[in-house]
Amino acid sequence: MDLKYGIYTGNNFAWSSGQNFRELDLKIVPETERIQGRTLRSKEYSHFISKKDVFKITISADELYNTTKYNFIKSFYAANGGRWQISLDSWASSTEVVLKEAGEMPVEFIDNVSGLPEISFTLIEK
């Protein structure tokens, strides 16, 4: 899996260089939007509106012990461009996504060892 993030410098937008991650747990699940209700004659309905892929990602400490990749994830999480991309095939194709979480970066340290960070976050197809 590869990731990129957008950066604004002044009025100019640019993509970061991509970073490849192999030691991870990636689950892709559909998220749907529907209008549901009941008619005046008590018939139930559920109209499909849209479907988006949700990428649930956990990057392991085996990958993030590398300072370069850990710094990339910190920059990815704090990117000011408001745009992110994910590719599952080395950039032959990519999907623009939205970072679901806000606030503090969701990092946990295995056995409270600062050299073993593990990060879990969710990206949603734009």
CATH of the domain at 74: 2.40.30
Query: Mean pLDDT throughout 115-120?
Result: 88
* pLDDT value, residue 36: 95
Tokens 């990636």 found at: 26
What domain range includes position 42?
A: 2-125
**Distance linking the first and last C-alpha atoms of the chain:** 18
**Of 13, 15, 16, 46, nearest to 32 (Cα)?**
46
Is 83:6 a contact under the CB 8 Å cutoff?
A: yes
The total of structural domains in the chain comes to: 1
Tell me what pLDDT residue 31 has. Answer: 93
**According to the model, what pLDDT value does residue 110 have?**
86
43 — pLDDT class (breaks 50, 70, 90): very high
CA–CA–CA angle 58, 1, 113 (5° rounding): 35
pLDDT above 90: residue 64: no
Note if the pTM is more than 0.95.
no
Q: For residue 76, give the amino acid letter.
A: F
Q: Are 83 and 5 in contact (CB under 8 A)?
A: yes
